[in-house]
Amino acid sequence: MTDIFRALADESRRELLDRLFADNGQTLSALCTDLAMSRQAVSKHLAVLEAANLVAVRRRGREKLHYLNPVPLAQIVRRWIGKFGDVRLQTLLDVAEERKPKRRRKPPAQSGAGSPSNS
């Protein structure tokens, strides 16, 4: 848990995940392009992501290919976030709905159940 959240708690690392999502299996130097930090910094970030199991690597000769691993994300959803509150089913179905907009259900009414809302 902690590893995953810590890994995600950094904008640069989330961007790296985004990049891998857009184009999986990139090398370190490929991931460095257009980033405003040194290769070493990126390398460290990737190490953190790797330690959190959010990124898997494969070596090809002198290159290191990085692959996104979404499983831990799914895990924190189901094993941790999912447990909180009524929003749970609500929102999850909401997202599912959003995903396959086949049939319409009730408009997702965010009824403030327990706590004052804002955001």
Binding site for its own copies (CB under 8 A): 1-3, 5-6, 8-11, 14, 17, 21, 24, 53, 56, 58, 67-96, 98-100, 110, 113-119
Rounded least distance, CB 48 to its own copies, Å: 11
SS3 of 52-113:
CCCEEEEEECCEEEEEECCHHHHHHHHHCHHHCCCHHHHHHHHHHHHHCCCCCCCCCCCCCC
Of 25, 75, 16, the residue nearest 46 (C-alpha): 16
The partner in contact with residue 115, picked from DNA, its own copies, none with C-beta cut-offs of 5 to 8 angstroms by kind, is its own copies
Of 35, 47, 38, the residue nearest 7 (C-alpha): 47
Q: Taking CB under 7 A as the rule, which mask of x and - marks residues 5-44 in contact with DNA?
A: -x--xx-x--------------xxxx-----xxxxxx-xx
- Provide the token pair at 55: 């990124």
Q: Which is nearer to DNA, 29 or 110 (CB)?
A: 29
Q: Which is nearer to DNA, 5 or 21 (CB)?
A: 5
Binding site for DNA (CB under 7 A): 6, 9-10, 12, 27-30, 36-41, 43-45, 48, 60-64
